[in-house]
Amino acid sequence: MSEQKLQSQTVQTTGHAWDGDLQEYNNPLPVWWVYTFYATVIFSIVYWVVYPSWPFGKGWLGGVADITYVNSDGETKTHSWNTRALLMEKLNAASAEQKPYFDKVASMSYEQIAKDPEMNGFIQSAGRALFSDNCAPCHGRGAAGGKGYPNLNDDEWIWGGKVEQVHETILYGIRSTEKKTRDSAMPKFGIDKLLDEKQINDAAEYVLSLSGKAGDKAAADRGAKLFTEQCASCHGEKGQGNQELGAPSLTDAIWLYGSDKKDVFESIWTGRGGMMPAWTGRLDPVTVKSLAVYVHSLGGGK
């Protein structure tokens, strides 16, 4: 084979070399890759022309494509392709549609709302969406709660289950920074060394015995005296609770932090002290009222 033919088949280098033998070759890109690159460039240019794209002055290039849709009034509308504007238009239309109902909620008493099937139906629909947006992260989508977060589907209410009481709880929160917050401070019996470990163990056994869960009768008997001295002033002599103080009943099977002995022991040791934010200032009064009616309906209320 001639030297000229060999040179034509030899890959050219860029002229860069390292350590004598290491060279940088100038291999051409595969044809399919080059054509794909060109196609993507052409596609991007077409996209910039058709749809909104680059910022331009105080706005952006709007594109030549239009979107046609039917609004809530049944009117067919066409405007430049802008999904955000379309979303805002739909949200504004939905708000306008709901406004007469929310205005009615604002003007009605809780008693009137309870007797109005149409308003109850609206609040069940609107309240579910409001609850999902604002309350579900803690209480769960189905309002079943979790450890440290009350289940709103039962009929056990720490601060009262009347709709007005639920309204106040939502409005001012629990141990929040709001001046009117609902506040109850259970002593940290273990952390503050008010009781020793053995005494807290006995108290936990007695608390469990109130709902038929005690495993050590002798310890529960010792804990009864401690309960009378340390706990009855808030939870009641028989552990029935006190909603005015935010002290839960200890006689049922509903436990905010768990019903295992270790959970009860920790509650007495640390005092727990969970917090719920105040929604006043965050949500408008009608939204709070709608949520109060919705939450009240979940567990049947009082």
Check residue 171 and give its pLDDT. Answer: 96
> Model-level pTM greater than 0.95?
no
For the cut 80, the answer to whether the pLDDT of residue 68 exceeds it is: no
Mean pLDDT in residue range 156-164: 92
**Bridge partners (DSSP) listed for residue 26:** none
For the cut 60, the answer to whether the pLDDT of residue 7 exceeds it is: no
Check residue 61 and give its pLDDT. Answer: 76
Between 16 and 286, whose confidence is greater? 286
| pLDDT band, very low/low/confident/very high, at 69 (cuts 50, 70, 90) | low
Check residue 97 and give its pLDDT. Answer: 83
Q: What is the per-residue pLDDT across 173-190, written as a single tens digit (0 to 9) for each?
A: 999 999 999 998 899 999
| pLDDT band, very low/low/confident/very high, at 71 (cuts 50, 70, 90) | low
| pLDDT band, very low/low/confident/very high, at 63 (cuts 50, 70, 90) | confident
For the cut 70, the answer to whether the pLDDT of residue 169 exceeds it is: yes
- Give me the percent of the chain exceeding a pLDDT of 90: 62
Q: Closest Cα partner for 181 from 257, 273, 266?
A: 273
- Cβ pair 180, 301 in contact under 8 A: no
Check residue 6 and give its pLDDT. Answer: 45
57-71, 100-114, 268-282, 287-301: least confidently modelled range:
57-71
- Give me the percent of the chain exceeding a pLDDT of 70: 89
Dihedral sign, CA of 213, 217, 223, 224? positive
- For the chain, give every domain's residue range: 1-64, 136-298
| pLDDT band, very low/low/confident/very high, at 231 (cuts 50, 70, 90) | very high
Tell me the C-alpha distance between 279 and 282, whole Å.
5
12-16, 35-39, 156-160, 215-219: least confidently modelled range:
12-16
For the cut 50, the answer to whether the pLDDT of residue 150 exceeds it is: yes
| DSSP assignments along 220-286, one per residue | HHHHHHHHHHHTHHHH-TTS--BTTTTB--SSSS--SS-SSHHHHHHHHHH-----B---BTTB-HH
Check residue 1 and give its pLDDT. Answer: 47
Check residue 59 and give its pLDDT. Answer: 76
- For the structural domain made of 136-298, what CATH number should be given? 1.10.760.10
For the cut 50, the answer to whether the pLDDT of residue 230 exceeds it is: yes
